[in-house]
Structure 1
Amino acid sequence: MITITITAKTKGLLLAALDAHATDDALGLKTRRRNEDPRIVAPVVAAWPADADGMFRIALSLRDLTITWRAYSLNEIAAGRGQRAAAHDYAAALGLTIGVDLVDAYEYVAQRLAGSGVRGVNGDRDGWTQPCRWVICDGETPQPKHRYAASEWRRRARTHEACADVGLALRGRNTWHPRATLLFLTPREKSQTAPAPALSAVEDDAIEGLMAA
C-alpha cells in the first residue's frame, strides 16, 4: 500500500475527478474482478478521516493510486491545465513525494495511440519515438513551411494531433507548439531495497588489502 498525504481541498478535487472519470476509458485499466472497478476508489477516499493536523493520509494500492492520478490528470486537462512540465507540482499537491516515483507511461501511451496510425513508443515499449519525444519536450519551432514536406516534420505534426485527440497533449495548441500532459507519466512505487550497510574503517582496510594482493 502507498500512502498519499493531502489537504481537505485536494481531497475534494480528487473526489470530483473520480466522480467525473471513474468510468472513462482513458483510465486505460482493464477490470477483471469486482474489486478492480475504478468506481470503488472514490468511496475509500471519501470515507478516510483526517488526522489531528487536518491532513488526510490515505492508503491506496498502486492500481487505485494510478486510477486517482489519471482521473485527476483528466480533470486538469479538461480545464486546460495538467501539463507534464508541471508534474513535480502536481506530485507535491497529491502527496506523492515520498515512496512514489512518476515514470514514463510507455504501455499506457502505446495503448492510447493504438489505431491512430502514430507510434509513440518503440517496439520494446521502453523508449519514445522521435516525433513523440518532440511532443513531450513541448517542442517549440517556427512553422517549417517548405520543410514540411520532410517526412520527419509530417510525423511530428501527426503525432501531436494524435496525442491531442486522446488527452496526451493539450487541445487547441498550434501544430508546432505542443504541450504534453500528465498522462505521459504514471506512478510507480519506489524500490524498498535496503541500503547496503556502511563498512567500518577496519573492514575498508581489509578490502583494500585483498584488492592489492
Structure 2
Amino acid sequence: MQTITVADTTRQTLLAALDAHAMDHSIGVKIRRRDEDPRTIAPTVAAWPADTDGLFRIALPHRELTILWRAWALAEIAAGRGARAAADEYAAKLNLTIGPDLTDAYDYVAARLAGSGVHGTNGSRTGWTQSAMWVLRDGETRKPYRRYEASGWRSRARAHEACAATGLALPGRNTWHPKATMLFLTPVEKLPPAQAAALTKEESDAIDAMMAA
C-alpha cells in the first residue's frame, strides 16, 4: 500500500478525473486484469475520512495509485494542462516526490507508442531515445526546412506527432514546439520490507539465555 496526502479540493479533483477517465484505455496498459474495474477506486477515495488536520491520507495499492495518477493526467491534458514540466507541482499535491515516488514510465510509454513506428525507449526500456528526448525537453526550434529530410528532425517530428496522438504530448501544438505531459511519469511500486523469519523455540530460548547472562 502507498499513501497519498491530499486536501479536499485535490480529492474532489481526483474523483472527477476518475469519473471521467477511469475506463479510458490510455490508463490500462499493463496495470489491470480483465476482471478488475478501475471504477472501484473512486468509492475508496470518496469514503476515506479526513484526519484532524483536514487532510486525507489515503492508502492505495500501487495499481490503483497508477490508475489515479493517469486518470488525473488525462483530465488535466483535456483541460490543456498536465505538462511534464509541471509534474513537481502535481506530485506535491499528492505529497509525492519525483524520484522516490514517481519515476520515468519507460514500459508505459513504449506500450503507448507501439505500432506508431516511433520508439520512445531503447531496447531494454531503461532510457529514452533521442526522438523522445526531443519531446521531453519541450524542444523548440525554427522549422528546419531543407535540413528536415536529411537529418534527425524528421524522426523528432514523427515522435512529437505520435506522442500527441497518444496523450504523451499536449495536442494542438506546432510540430517544432512539443510539450511532454505528466504521463511520462508513473508511480514507483514500493514493495513491503521482507518480514524476518520466525524464530524456532530453540533460537528463542538461546536468545533468552544470552539476555539473562
TM range (shorter): 0.7 to 0.9
CA spacing shift, 1:40–1:100, aligned 2, 3 Å: farther
- Residue 42 of structure 1 aligns to a residue whose secondary structure is helix
2:2–2:61 contact (8 Å) kept in structure 1: yes
Tell me by how many angstroms 1:192 deviates. Answer: 7.5
User: Which consecutive unaligned segments of at least 5 residues does structure 1 have?
Assistant: 194-213
Tell me by how many angstroms 1:143 deviates. Answer: 1.1
Alignment match, 2:122: 122
- Residue 149 of structure 1 aligns to a residue whose secondary structure is coil
- Residue 81 of structure 1 aligns to a residue whose secondary structure is coil
- TM normalised by structure 2 equals 0.85
Tell me by how many angstroms 1:187 deviates. Answer: 0.9
1:5–1:95 contact (8 Å) kept in structure 2: yes
Alignment match, 1:80: 80
1:100–1:189 contact (8 Å) kept in structure 2: no
Which one-letter code corresponds to 2:33 in the other structure?
Answer: R
Alignment match, 2:148: 148
Name the Cα RMSD after superposition.
1.8
Which one-letter code corresponds to 2:65 in the other structure?
Answer: L
Which one-letter code corresponds to 1:63 in the other structure?
Answer: R
Tell me by how many angstroms 1:37 deviates. Answer: 2.1
- Residue 59 of structure 2 aligns to a residue whose secondary structure is strand
User: Which consecutive unaligned segments of at least 5 residues does structure 2 have?
Assistant: 194-213
Tell me by how many angstroms 1:151 deviates. Answer: 3.8
- Residue 58 of structure 2 aligns to a residue whose secondary structure is strand
1:99–1:189 contact (8 Å) kept in structure 2: no
**Per-residue CA shift, 1:22-77, capped at 9, x if unaligned?**
1100002453264x421111110011011111110100011110000000000000
Tell me by how many angstroms 1:189 deviates. Answer: 4.2
Alignment match, 1:179: 179
Which one-letter code corresponds to 2:5 in the other structure?
Answer: T
- Residue 31 in 1 paired to residue 32 in 2? yes
2: distance between equivalents of 1:164 and 1:33?
27
Tell me by how many angstroms 1:98 deviates. Answer: 9.6
**Per-residue CA shift, 1:7-32, capped at 9, x if unaligned?**
11000000000011111000024532
